[in-house]
């Protein structure tokens, strides 16, 4: 199988890394080569966070460059728009429409840009915007947004569902597994 490229973007603290961890594990279960890239440290203090997963028969580089992404999973609109130029022409965008202000917005030095949702709609052929935070809160914890988004992305992942379900069990801590599975199901219903 050709290399499939997924970009996952959001804000530090939103749990972006878990989504990529589950996808990478599912790819491993599918017997594929997989590489996952993330940035630790400074970027985690509320800054913008990007994680990248690539899987296929053989993967060399762990990073995705401009125009290479098949799928962009966005945890926040601004952070989704920031990476649109990484998408392939037929790339898919799945994102949470709930905005999070930046520190510049909080100190009234900058304005959160208007029309972000329109830009995303214009720039990608297939877009699925929805309030994932609301679904996560309904599932029991806003921190399950990562599984909500994963659920919504499922139909666009070239991975068998069973592998993804097993990967969730292998990856998510036991204590919170149930609400995460609930969140995943809620996301999947959205993605259908």
Partner 1 sequence: MTKAILSGNEAIARGFIEAGGKLAAAYPGTPSTEVLETLSHEKGIHAEWSVNEKVALEVAIGGALSGVRSLACMKHVGVNVAADPLMTASYTGINAGLVLMAADDPGMFSSQNEQDTRHYARLGKLPCIEPSDSAEALQYVKAAFEMSEAFDTPVILRTTTRISHCKSVVETGTVESPAGRGLVKDFAKYVMLPNNAKKRHVFVEDRLMRLKEWAETSRLNRIIDGDKEIGFITSGISFQYVREAFPKATVLKLGTTFPLPEKLIKKFASSVTKLAVVEELDPFIEDQIKAMGITVHLGKNVLPLWGEFSQRLVRERISGSTLPMKEVVSGLIMRPPTFCPGCSHRGLYTVLAKLKLHVSGDIGCYTLGALPPFSAMHSCICMGASISAAHGMAQGLALQGTQQQKPVAVIGDSTFLHSGITGLINMVYNGGDAIVIIMNNDTTGMTGGQEHAGTGRPAGGVEAPRLDIAKLCQAIGAKRVREIDAYKIKDLEKIMKEELAEKGPTVLISNQPCVLRYRVSKKAYSVERESCKGCKLCLKAGCIALSFTPEGKTGYVEIDPLLCNGCGVCEQLCTTGCMKQGDA
Residue ranges binding partner 1 (CB under 8 A): 11-12, 24-25, 28, 33-48, 59-63, 65-68, 78-79, 81-82, 84-87, 101-113, 116, 119, 123, 142
Q: How far is the CB of 66 from partner 1 (least distance, A)?
A: 6
| CB nearer to partner 1: pick between 116 and 153 | 116
CB of 102 or CB of 190, closer to partner 1: 102
Nearer to partner 1, 2 or 192 (CB): 2
3-state secondary structure 170-192: HHCCHHHHHHHHHHHHHHHHHHC
3-state SS, residue 52: strand
Comparison of 106 and 192: residue with beta carbon closer to partner 1: 106
CA–CA separation, 179 and 190 (whole Å): 17
Ranges of H-type helices in the chain? 16-29, 77-81, 103-106, 116-123, 132-139, 145-153, 161-171, 177-191
We find the least distance from the C-beta atom of residue 38 to partner 1, in angstroms, to be 6
């Amino acid at each position: 199988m050709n290399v499939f490229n997924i970009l996952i973007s959001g804000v530090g603290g939103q749990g972006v890394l878990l989504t990529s961890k589950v996808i990478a594990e599912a790819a491993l279960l599918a017997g594929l080569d997989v590489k996952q890239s993330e940035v630790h440290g400074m970027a985690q203090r509320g800054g913008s966070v990007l994680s990248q997963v690539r899987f296929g028969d053989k993967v060399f580089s762990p990073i995705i460059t401009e125009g290479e992404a098949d799928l962009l999973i966005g945890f926040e609109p601004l952070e989704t728009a920031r990476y649109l130029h990484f998408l392939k022409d037929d790339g898919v965008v799945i994102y949470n429409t709930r905005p999070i202000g930046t520190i510049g917005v909080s100190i009234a030095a900058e304005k959160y840009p208007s029309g972000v949702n329109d830009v995303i709609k214009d720039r990608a052929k297939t877009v699925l915007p929805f309030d994932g935070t609301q679904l996560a809160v309904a599932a029991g914890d806003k921190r399950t947004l990562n599984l909500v988004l994963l659920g919504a992305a499922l139909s666009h992942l070239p991975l068998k569902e069973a592998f993804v379900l097993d990967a969730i069990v292998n990856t998510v801590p036991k204590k919170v597994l149930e609400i995460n599975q609930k969140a995943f199901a809620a996301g999947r219903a959205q993605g259908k």
